[in-house]
Structure 1
């Protein structure tokens, strides 16, 4: 079997004939609608005739004309759009069987990787873990995580006021509070920062007072 034979299905050939407005279709006209030489199409149509799926309507100097056998249901054949996908795209040279190669992600160069933040000191971690925050067990843990996030934000920034925490930390770590004014700030973040040993407050803003080497 040639590559042209493999590229065509029987239903695709029958569908070309079924869509024609003529009573019968010349084999050369069928060949114009599929990506195969006339000789290949003629051989395939002959095979369909021998299997009883086509009727030979006429034969003359131009070639043979074919119509569907009554046993073939035109409604069961591919539509024109489906045939374009399977046949005409092959005529354009598309390879429908070859899958795209798996995406291989190249790891970033070590020098381009973002620097990992320094770990939280044990006394800071203990202070956060000891916080008695409102909510059930799950909410308490998420709110402690919000305090950790606020602390790391302050350590990186150096100094921040309430508006900074609300704008930059709440979207990342809401601690189960949709609105930062409904407990997130007054009951979680502010009292949490007040109990962390590396944080100082001067009536206007909070300042990181820990080891400068821990700042990125």
Structure 2
């Protein structure tokens, strides 16, 4: 006669220990894959936000319109303001103008590079008031108005930002008078459109992107050799 034998207690304990180790290793592998996927998604989202912001920055400068009322582009060391064509009304005989501003605004987790824009403007007094509201917003004021036409958007976390103008033959501080002398009359031309605008951003950590970024814009109507 043959007697069937089952597993001993030691064999069961060894089997349970092996399965526990396999389960632990599997959990660590899945957790590592999840963390990697989350980090990749965060960096991808941050890169898309940055690309969108730089695209909007370039579009704003490309659409700058000199109204002869205020400087087409003005940087006071804190806020960059500009007057641009209203892209929503390009088909009209007399399209409106918008005031756009970029500034580093305070936030709960460091600074946020942000964009502000006014509603459509068609009167001189409207332009003057919007120009002032843009400066106030850059200093920390609220972006809302009674009409609700103004709007602002926090773009990306930035620790520091700088703007440089290209005038004459070199890049320099927008507040400097170097390179602003008019060639014909010898009078200052600080309110004229610069040949180029250089953007320098220092991105904050903890958002998938960090380090320093440079972006140069050249005036589309700039003549060759100038």
Q: TM-score, normalised by structure 2?
A: 0.20
Larger radius of gyration: 1
More helix by share: 1
Structure with greater proportional strand content: 2
